[in-house]
Structure 1
Amino acid sequence: MSTKTVSENFLKASLPWETLEDGLKRQFLGFDDKIMMVKVTFKKGGVGQLHEHYHSQTTYVVSGKFDVTIDGETQTLEGGDAFYVPPHAVHGAVCLEDGMLIDVFSPAREDFLKD
């Protein structure tokens, strides 16, 4: 795990992006051990695979269109919509139009901070 456990106080748009699979990129927008905010961009067809974790998560859809599944229920969400994922709920998303999500996790996703 990274030795960094707290982000800088002020975070500018020039922060580095991490490239993930399936046309996804993420940028850390602030965190400590209790909370983490992450910006994630998707290309059309990008998939956030179904998964679960012990963290609470709330997500704001900045732009685009996504089919979001939480515990077997799927809804189509667009810019301005949001969703909440309780701990251990199986969830994922499929990007229908290029878009961006802002994820907030509590506690922070320590698995994202690995070197």
Structure 2
Amino acid sequence: MAVFFIEANNTWQQVGEGITRQVTGYNNDLMMVKVAFEKGAVGTLHHHVHTQASYVASGVFEVEVDGVKQVLRAGDTFFVAPNFVHGVVCLEAGLLVDVFNPHREDFL
């Protein structure tokens, strides 16, 4: 586990149309990931066994969690319990910072 994350030394992965991801650090219990969205990009509805907290660092997103929709802006946060269906639509280009417990092996 690295103690420090230097953005310039790490690459972004294309994970969908208009969506890129950069894993910023993890151990067995926790993972932090930056996800950049272009306007109109869709993080399709999905679910996973991980607890997730997401911080809207910039942009505007329509977020759906367990059938409830809410428009969130920079500074807002949403939480996802394990196996809750969730997704986002990017209304204004932006960045989400996602934190998962435990870490997402599928992201590595």
**Which interval holds the TM-score relative to the shorter structure?**
over 0.9
More strand by share: 2
Indicate which of 58, 65, 70 corresponds to 1:70: 65
Q: Which runs of 5+ in 2 are unaligned?
A: none
CA RMSD for the aligned pairs? 0.7
Equivalent positions of 1:31-50 (< 5 A) are 31-50=26-45
The reply to whether residue 108 of structure 1 matches residue 103 of structure 2 is yes
- CA deviation after TM superposition for structure 1 residue 19, in Å: 1.1
The reply to whether residue 53 of structure 1 matches residue 48 of structure 2 is yes
The list of structure 1 runs, each at least 4 consecutive aligned residues, that deviate by more than 2 angstroms after superposition, is none
The reply to whether residue 18 of structure 1 matches residue 13 of structure 2 is yes
Indicate which of 74, 80, 100 corresponds to 1:85: 80
- CA deviation after TM superposition for structure 1 residue 10, in Å: 1.2
- CA deviation after TM superposition for structure 1 residue 43, in Å: 0.0
Query: Deviations along 1:62-101, whole A, 9 cap, x unmatched?
Result: 0000000001100000000000000000000000000000
Provide TM-score, normalisation by structure 2: 0.96
Three-state SS of the structure 2 residue aligned to 1:111 is helix
Three-state SS of the structure 1 residue aligned to 2:7 is coil
Identical aligned residues as a percent: 50
Counterpart of 2:3 in structure 1 is 9
Provide TM-score, normalisation by structure 1: 0.91
Three-state SS of the structure 2 residue aligned to 1:84 is strand
